[in-house]
Amino acid sequence: MKTLLKTLLISIILVSCSSDDDPFGNPQEKVDTTLISISIPNGHYLDGSINDVKSSGHIYLTDNEGELIIDSELLNNSITELTGDYDVNKEIQATFLWKREYPDFEDNIATIYHLKTFSKVEPYTFEFEEKFKKNPANNEKAKIFINNTNGYLQDFLAYNSYGTKSSINSAELEIDLKQIPDDIYVSFKHENENARRYILMQNIEEDISKSIEYESLPVAKDFITINYPGSDKLHVTIFGAIESNPNNFFARLSEIWSYTGLNSFSHNLPLEPFQNFKVSTSLEIGNEKFSTIERGSSINQNYSKPNLSFQVLDNSFDNYEISSSSMFDYYSVNLYYSNEAKNYDIIWTIYGKSQANIKLTIPQILDFHELNNTTLTIDDFTILSATIIKIDGIDSYKEFINSQIDDNSYIDNKITKYESMRK
pLDDT in tens, 147-194: 999 999 999 999 988 889 989 999 999 999 888 889 999 999 999 999
For 223-248, b/e burial (b = at least 16 CB within 10 A) is ebebebeebeebbbbbbbbbeeeeeb
pLDDT at 269: 97
Q: Average pLDDT of 49-71?
A: 89
Give residue 7's pLDDT band: very low, low, confident or very high (50, 70, 90). Answer: very low
Give CA–CA dist 75/61, Å, rounded: 17
Give CA–CA dist 206/214, Å, rounded: 24
pLDDT in tens, 300-337: 999 999 999 999 999 988 889 999 989 999 999 999 99
pLDDT in tens, 107-133: 889 999 999 999 999 999 999 988 766
pLDDT in tens, 61-99: 999 888 999 999 999 999 999 998 888 888 899 999 999
Please tell me the pTM assigned to this model.
0.86
pLDDT in tens, 245-290: 899 999 999 999 999 999 999 999 999 999 999 999 999 999 999 9
Q: Average pLDDT of 33-56?
A: 88
Q: Which has the closest alpha carbon to 239: 305, 160, 309?
A: 160
What is the Cα 21 distance to its own chain's centre?
A: 47
Q: DSSP string spanning 6-35?
A: HHHHHHHHHHHHTTTB-TTSPBPPP--EEE
Side chain identity at 83, as an amino acid letter? T
What's the topology of domain 141-216? Immunoglobulin-like (2.60.40)
Q: Average pLDDT of 11-21?
A: 40
